[in-house]
Structure 1
Amino acid sequence: MASRKNKAAEDAQTIAKLIEDIDITMFTTVGSEGYLVSRPLSTQKAQFDGEKVWFFVAGDSPKVAEIERNSKVNLAYASKGRNTYVSMAGDAYVNNDPVKIEAFWNDALKAYFPRGINDPKLTLIEVAVRTAEFWDGPGSLIGKAIAFAVARVTKRDDAMGENRIVDLRQGRATSKSPRARATAAKTPARKAASSRAPAKKATAKKPTAKKATAKKTATKRSATTSSTASKKTATRKATKAARR
């Protein structure tokens, strides 16, 4: 249990470090017609603790109605300069706890909420993160060139950088590469296929004694009938010849 908690803490720290200097995220919700809708949002300056991310929005904006109807959301962070990309999936909720609002408030937000912390439109959204996937590679051109050369020579994709999927749900802290996940998904199917018994070859059924006897009798009758017909034909021909 202790090792699992340590792993969860390490994963949270890794993700927190990756997104700490990325202000804007693409916040994706499920729209009223069932299609995904994304818009840029500024993440509130708070150290990611492995559980939640926070945003201030206007209470009358469509995104609030969308998360109240369907809480499933995705957050996409990207830093081209650092060659870092993070995608988080989770559930979003409205949280108007005045203590939280005061803790995250900064005066720069007055451009959007003129009445400050007491602005009636000011709404705090919390996103409870379930899973995260990140890509982290060398940021400089030289670093990218070296990584590309190493990957080409060694045939190893991970030489280009780290790509991991992290499950951040409480008590389920796990981490694995997408390739490992894909391999694990294929393994049960392979085992199931190998466990199937080979199909039995169809064998021709031997005729029973009763059927064989019936067949012989039918053959004899056919031969007798044919012989009798031949004799009658010969007799008729002989009679006609005598009359001439």
Structure 2
Amino acid sequence: MSDKTLTADEAKDHFWKALKDSNTGLLGLDQAGYHAQPMTAFREEETGTIWFFTRDDTDLARDAGIGGGQNAMFHYGSKDQKVWACIHGELSVHGPDRTLIDRHWNPVLAAWYPEGKDDPHLTILRFDGDDGRVWVSDGGLLTFAFEIAKANLTKTLPDAGGVANVNLQ
């Protein structure tokens, strides 16, 4: 499948760098019948924590707060489609935190909170990632096209990059 060996540390580095560059993924509770939803992630690489701003009147915020936290999955694909990840972890309600609000506040966030940083519905979810899998393909569209053509001509599998299991803790 791939000629490149990707270490867990390399995969984590690619994941954190990609998440910094394009920070939207799908977040949902890891339970039957629950669907992931698009969310903007704010990374804290040092601790493996990913913060999500949401309203306290959403299903996700309500359900994440049950029992102090829930198993969750964060699915991610970088804007350039070179990094893909599926990360398991615990999602909990952190609540409004002025330090985090001031650090990450931007016009996109502001659009969801009519009363600004002091909006009574503003809350923050904390995702503590643990294990996951990261796929990395350093090649671009031309490399991908070449690998597909080569695989079809030689009846072999294309080199789609590397994959590694990671632990974000």
User: What's the TM-score, normalizing by structure 2?
Assistant: 0.77
What does residue 174 of structure 1 align with? none
Q: Structure 1 residues 65 and 152, CA, compared in 2 at 3 Å: closer, same or farther?
A: farther
What does residue 65 of structure 1 align with? 62
Contact 1:138 1:147 in 2 (8 A): no
Which has the larger displacement, 123-132 or 66-75?
66-75
User: Aligned AA for 1:63?
Assistant: L
Residue 116 of structure 1: CA displacement? 1.2
What is the SS of the residue equivalent to 1:117?
helix
Q: Structure 1 residues 95 and 162, CA, compared in 2 at 3 Å: closer, same or farther?
A: same
Contact 1:13 1:49 in 2 (8 A): no
Ranges of 4+ aligned residues in structure 1 off by more than 3 Å: 7-12, 46-50, 150-157
Residue 107 of structure 1: CA displacement? 3.6
Alignment of 1:166 with 2:166, yes or no, is yes
Alignment of 1:53 with 2:45, yes or no, is no
What is the SS of the residue equivalent to 1:90?
strand
Greater fraction of residues in helix: 1
What does residue 125 of structure 1 align with? 125
| Larger RCO (alpha carbons 8 Å, 6+ apart) | 2
Greater fraction of residues in strand: 2
Matched ranges for 1:26-175 at <5 A: 26-30=26-30, 34-44=32-42, 46=43, 48-49=45-46, 51-69=48-66, 71-79=70-78, 81-96=80-95, 97-148=97-148, 149=150, 153=154, 155=156, 159-169=159-169
User: Aligned AA for 1:65?
Assistant: R
Q: Which has the larger radius of gyration?
A: 1
Taking only the aligned residue pairs, the percentage that are identical comes to: 21
Residue 110 of structure 1: CA displacement? 2.0
Residue 122 of structure 1: CA displacement? 0.5
Q: Distance in 1 between matches of 2:111 and 2:129?
A: 29
Q: Structure 1 residues 13 and 136, CA, compared in 2 at 3 Å: closer, same or farther?
A: closer
Q: Structure 1 residues 55 and 165, CA, compared in 2 at 3 Å: closer, same or farther?
A: same
Matched ranges for 1:203-214 at <5 A: none
Q: Distance in 1 between matches of 2:9 and 2:164?
A: 15
The one-character-per-residue Cα deviations of 1:99-120 (angstroms, maximum 9, x if unpaired) are 2222222243221111111111
Contact 1:13 1:50 in 2 (8 A): no
What is the SS of the residue equivalent to 2:117?
helix
Contact 2:28 2:74 in 1 (8 A): yes
Q: Distance in 2 between matches of 1:95 and 1:151?
A: 50
Q: Distance in 2 between matches of 1:101 and 1:43?
A: 13
